[in-house]
Chains A and B, each alone.
Chain A
Amino acid sequence: MRGDVQTFDLAEVTRRSLNQALHDATDGASFEVVNPRGAHAVACGITSDIDVVVRGSVGYYCAGMHQQGRVRVEGNASTGLAENIMSGEVHITGNATMSAGATGCGGLLVVGGNSGARCGISMKGVDIVVGGNVGHMSAFMAQAGNLVVCGDAAADLGDSIYEAQIFVRGDVESLGADCVEKEVRPEHLDTLGRLLAAAGAAAGGADPGDFRRYGSARRLYNFTIDDVDALAAEAAVEREVAGR
């Protein structure tokens, strides 16, 4: 934390006044938020290089659209944590519920505990490190970025994945459509080492060598031959109908 810390007590002031102050802040400012009591949209839309520490659990869309700076939540977060994060860092010490890091385009999201269903859904470049487990359909339709899971992954991991990479240290209940295990090469160990270091204590000293890598089989990129047959049959019917 740099400079003087400005404290907002959400039992006393409105969340809107907090978010406005964060939007008006200049680079280097530091903020502390107390008594969040599960409020939604805490510390959303930050666009300057500031530090925010939230002491307690937050509701939906905490640090949504995060663009610069660092948000640290000492507690749990509900649906849509760091949704559409662009850059910067969001770090929570506890658990996140559904859709953490959804559609994130860049930056780093660290969840110290578990993350619920659909973690990293449609991620587009964000790096996500989860100290515990992730729920079902995590990295669903993920397009770019890295999802690192130090614990286990629930059913249908990486369903319909494009080009993101998934690393899991524990068990994978099942892989979703078109998601397959892939070889871990030296460049993947480098990526893992960098992300685990960035996650700090949340990663619990995990060794990059303990992770398995999953990604797209790229079978959903094109029509299969069966689809071509179906299209050809349809075209033949159309020609027949047109010829009558």
Chain B
Amino acid sequence: MDLDELYQEVILDHYKRPRGVGLREPFEGESHQVNPTCGDEITLRVHVEGDTVADLSYENVGCSISKASASVLYELVNGANIDDALARLKEFTALMNSRGQGEADEETLEDAVAFTGVSKYPMRVKCALLGWMAFKDALVRAEAVPTPEGGAE
């Protein structure tokens, strides 16, 4: 088992020095997500100005993968155009669900490329996606994107 592939330097760095952490005002949408298998939690807020994610703020408890992933999410979507942010969300989700077969585009995913190895560990994919699911839900709650089929929950 190649642990270095999972615990890449860039992941450990985001874990030890998370970017953008803390809950801030103002915000229009807030989401609380829990991983029931391990008890990891995140509360994440989005502040939307026009078509831009003006601020993304969060508090979380969890493992290195889930905390680093939230930090990387912050770097990728904070200040981004909502459509671009959604495109990255889609790209990252697809990468995580690729069971190690996905190829990450460093142009768009930047540090999130380091999570490619995580997709080989099915037990950890949920950790990596926790913050991203909260982001998606917070955008819906902020009414920045249409409510998906079946509602926001």
Q: Do A and B bind each other?
A: no
